[in-house]
Chains A and B, each alone.
Chain A
């Protein structure tokens, strides 16, 4: 075997990075920013970017869970509904006079509980994840509507809004929290033994089982993590809006899925990184930010997200078929 010299190692590193999804995606994002900055003077301003990042914070937090779930071969459509339900319940509890930390803790626990149920449905009852989480989606949305009779819960005490509006060095506190979650999530998925198991389960469930990986436990955990993060995003959003809105985050699940797939996750499992998913979220947010600036109607924006999702999935299928 030839010795690996520093230059070949560098070359291998560069090639390896090009083969991943993150670097090309980052390049596309940078190029888009440069082009837009020249077209529209408001685009590259602190105000615009701050608004954009505050806007994408809940999506990005959920994407961290979703991409880990996708890696393990799972799938969750209920995240938007769980977000809405958590926001409304949290608002209700606080309005009814519960201590805020207790209310938040309770809601997070409920989120993990919903994930646990999703996980049980998928692993023990062997219900298709699409069907199972579509069911929990309906139930969670339904309960949120019933609890609020369809209108937002407002009139919350001012202290409830602190987390959602505070800033550190001109950066919103929420955004910082999101970045921390993204970084921890990325490192954990790359390096921890617990999450390495997610890759095995998603790559080949049979082989994983026969290699002694606790497949069901891994699956249930990833569903719990996703729903937990969705609940957390729900609380943050409620704090920012100072309201619990039962109709919040409609269609968020598609945005999150599109972001993960753009970032290199595969719907057939075994592939994806948190960094990729995060860049996917940023990309989608920039696209919709641009569309808003160019005064494209909100309805078209939804259509464009769908288009991006289908393109990304189609691309993913083509690539994986070629490698098969």
Chain B
């Protein structure tokens, strides 16, 4: 098969304490969508980083269009027609959308001055393909995670690459945006572009991929045509066993009221939001791009300020103006952006987990590292966090494993009210099951959870009650047991005003 766009042969890569890849071979044909799957820490991102020149392999060869190449920088890979969407968002916070998309390639006049008008027009057009109408001069730091992910995709597409590597491009993308991405992928396929698609979402892979390669512990387990396998086969090849019961049982009965939100508004973001959360209950919020779900959670913990409305926590009406204060009144918040808002990348896993409950791990003002390590070990085992030791720096873990650490740090504190933005972003199937069980356990002990997920099956499977938001308003409420994806999609698109109709 010399017609392959990209051939990887026997590639290995090790990090201190971790053998990420052992003799992996992989091949990408023109016009093919080749899915890459495997558990967290299996080596998927490492393989992509090697193909796009970020890491140099310890051994093995890479051929592009049949010619062996040595890639030493992402810039060089770009020139060879390789574009990549990174799992950990790589945008420059302070720069505008347009500058981020065309970084290094801004259109200039003779003499080097930038043609801003041209730059903005081209970026605007690209963003509009994804149905996103924003001012492309907005700095990236002001945007939510979904928009950032779209920008990341648009940036890779704008390269006119022959080989496109997408590392979990949809981990925070709502269904309609995923649909647009898939249409784009189909167009690219027709032009003979080869696409590597990494995802933990099995339905997506079944829909878009032609072939799938599965990695486990840094080794290739199989490469199969999608048409010849079932989702259950996929899970079994990844995990090494069958998985039953993806979601835990729902709550039987709920307790006292933990949180009451009444008429909460924040101009330009959301208006007149009211709902209550009871002990023992999990509420899922469904919505599409622009539903302002994340903004709502941020306002509830005082990261952003709400202009009007009231918040009552366990019967006491309070004004929340900082996360610190929300924390003290028992509200914990888990943001979607783990790199910038969630983790301490340069610190050890243990210290990342203990941060919310320092008092629990200290006596007379002195930290007790043994207690920190012991607690961390429990989470490492329970969630299957792949790490050489609990002292590993969190920045060196794979994306999904970082997500597990971020969840652990709140579970260790056992908050009364937990608000989570994308609880299982980038987490593999088996760990997802474990996380859902842990969250259910937490509410069974008297806590309440409100979560956002861009994955409708997760919203339906994990929640007891589902709130649907559309353009900053609550448009309906459905008991999860009676919800269907179609119904939620319709409501989230603003077609149905209430769950009853």
A and B interact physically: yes
Which residues of A pack against B, CB within 8 Å?
A: 191-194, 196-197, 199-200, 203-204, 206-215, 270-271, 323-324
Those of B359-374 within 8 Å (CB) of chain A: 359, 362, 365-367
A324 to B359, alpha carbons, bound, how many Å? Answer: 30
Are A271's CB and B346's CB within 8 A?
A: yes
Interface centre among B332, B355, B356, B395, by most chain A C-beta atoms within 10 angstroms, is: B355
Q: A193 and B347 in contact (CB under 8 A), knowing A207-B342, A210-B341, A214-B324?
A: no
Are A193's CB and B362's CB within 8 A?
A: yes
Closest beta carbon of chain B to A293's beta carbon, Å? 40
Are A207's CB and B343's CB within 8 A?
A: yes
**What residues on A are CB-neighbors of B356 within 8 Å?**
211-212
Q: CB < 8 Å: which of B323, B328, B359, B393 contacts A209? A: B323
A213 to B328, alpha carbons, bound, how many Å? Answer: 10
**What residues on A are CB-neighbors of B335 within 8 Å?**
210
Q: CB < 8 Å: which of A194, A206, A211, A212 contacts B365? A: A194
A207 to B347, alpha carbons, bound, how many Å? Answer: 12
16 A-B pairs besides A200-B351, A207-B343 with CB distance below 8 A are A191-B366, A191-B367, A193-B365, A196-B358, A204-B340, A204-B343, A206-B340, A207-B342, A207-B344, A208-B344, A210-B323, A210-B333, A210-B341, A213-B324, A213-B355, A323-B393
Closest beta carbon of chain A to B184's beta carbon, Å? 31
Closest beta carbon of chain A to B346's beta carbon, Å? 5
Are B327's CB and A212's CB within 8 A?
A: yes
Closest beta carbon of chain A to B47's beta carbon, Å? 20
B interface residues, how many (CB within 8 angstroms): 30
A215 to B322, alpha carbons, bound, how many Å? Answer: 11
Closest beta carbon of chain B to A5's beta carbon, Å? 15
CB closest residue in chain A, given B327: A212
Are B342's CB and A210's CB within 8 A?
A: yes
Q: A192 and B324 in contact (CB under 8 A), knowing A211-B409, A270-B346?
A: no
A311 to B321, alpha carbons, bound, how many Å? Answer: 44
Are B358's CB and A193's CB within 8 A?
A: yes
A200 to B346, alpha carbons, bound, how many Å? Answer: 10
- What are 9 residue pairs bridging A and B, where the CB atoms are less than 8 Å apart in the complex? A194-B365, A203-B344, A204-B343, A207-B341, A209-B323, A210-B342, A211-B327, A211-B409, A212-B328
Are B344's CB and A200's CB within 8 A?
A: yes
CB closest residue in chain A, given B377: A1
Closest beta carbon of chain B to A48's beta carbon, Å? 39
**What residues on A are CB-neighbors of B358 within 8 Å?**
193, 196-197
Does B345 reach chain A (CB closer than 8 Å)? yes
**What residues on B are CB-neighbors of A210 within 8 Å?**
301, 303, 323, 333, 335, 341-342
CB closest residue in chain B, given A19: B16
Q: CB < 8 Å: which of B341, B347, B409 contacts A270? A: B347
Are A192's CB and B367's CB within 8 A?
A: yes
**What residues on A are CB-neighbors of B393 within 8 Å?**
323
Those of B88-121 within 8 Å (CB) of chain A: none
Closest beta carbon of chain A to B89's beta carbon, Å? 14
A324 to B345, alpha carbons, bound, how many Å? Answer: 9
**What residues on B are CB-neighbors of A211 within 8 Å?**
327, 355-356, 409
A197 to B354, alpha carbons, bound, how many Å? Answer: 11
A142 to B324, alpha carbons, bound, how many Å? Answer: 39
Closest beta carbon of chain B to A174's beta carbon, Å? 29
**What residues on B are CB-neighbors of A200 within 8 Å?**
344, 347, 351, 355
- Going nearest first, the 10 A-B pairs with the smallest beta carbon separation are A212-B327, A203-B344, A193-B362, A211-B355, A206-B341, A191-B366, A270-B346, A193-B358, A211-B356, A204-B344
CB closest residue in chain B, given A16: B391
**What residues on A are CB-neighbors of B395 within 8 Å?**
323-324
**What residues on B are CB-neighbors of A191 within 8 Å?**
366-367
Taken residue by residue from 358 to 400, chain B's Cβ proximity to chain A (1 for < 8 Å, 0 otherwise) reads as 1100100111000000000000000000000000010100000
**What residues on B are CB-neighbors of A270 within 8 Å?**
344, 346-347
CB closest residue in chain A, given B335: A210
**What residues on B are CB-neighbors of A204 within 8 Å?**
340, 343-345
**What residues on B are CB-neighbors of A196 within 8 Å?**
351, 358, 367
Q: CB < 8 Å: which of A199, A203, A209 contacts B345? A: A203
CB closest residue in chain A, given B337: A206
A204 to B406, alpha carbons, bound, how many Å? Answer: 14
Closest beta carbon of chain B to A197's beta carbon, Å? 7
**What residues on A are CB-neighbors of B343 within 8 Å?**
204, 207
Q: CB < 8 Å: which of B301, B340, B341, B365 contacts A192? A: B365
A201 to B345, alpha carbons, bound, how many Å? Answer: 12
**What residues on A are CB-neighbors of B340 within 8 Å?**
204, 206-207
A18 to B83, alpha carbons, bound, how many Å? Answer: 39
A53 to B362, alpha carbons, bound, how many Å? Answer: 36
A206 to B340, alpha carbons, bound, how many Å? Answer: 7
CB closest residue in chain A, given B362: A193
